[in-house]
Amino acid sequence: MKRFFNWQVALALLLVASSVAIYLLHFLIFRDLHHIMLYLIGDIAFLFLDVLIVMLVLHRLLEFREKKSILKKLNMVIGTFFSEVGTELIKKCSHFDSGLATLTKGLVVTKDWTDKEFAKTRKDVKN
């Protein structure tokens, strides 16, 4: 029995009891059972739409959060790879690049560089 009675069941019972208490208070004040039943049925009818809307919004939020978490973990893995293996791998692969000598000459940055030189170097690296 303890497995069935958790905080969610307790909260559901508390909310139902609170609702019954409010409806009872409404009846004691206004003595209009017809009004209570009319709006109770309307509220129950809207409940299905309410659940649908909340479910879709929560699903979208949880999906977005999960994607963000996966991307963060993937970035950590990529960062770890390049910090552990990447630099050495690039050094070894650079021996096979015939245009490396001209590229490395253009990558020596000095404090006298202008925006034009940065743009030219960016273009050279892309090519």
Range of the domain at 113: 99-127
* 19 is a domain residue: no
94 by DSSP, 3-state: which? helix
* 9 is a domain residue: no
Give the Cα separation of 7 and 4 in Å (integer).
10
> How many distinct structural domains can be found in the chain?
1
pTM listed for this prediction: 0.46
Per the CB < 8 A criterion, the answer to whether 106 and 121 are in contact is yes
Over residues 58-75, the pLDDT tens digits come to 999 999 999 999 999 999
| Residue 79 clears pLDDT 60, i.e. is over it | yes
Per the CB < 8 A criterion, the answer to whether 124 and 106 are in contact is yes
Quickly state the pLDDT bin for 46 (edges 50, 70, 90).
very high
* 20 is a domain residue: no
Cβ within 8 Å of residue 27, ≥6 positions away = 33, 36
* 119 is a domain residue: yes
* 36 is a domain residue: no
* 127 is a domain residue: yes
* 123 is a domain residue: yes
* 1 is a domain residue: no
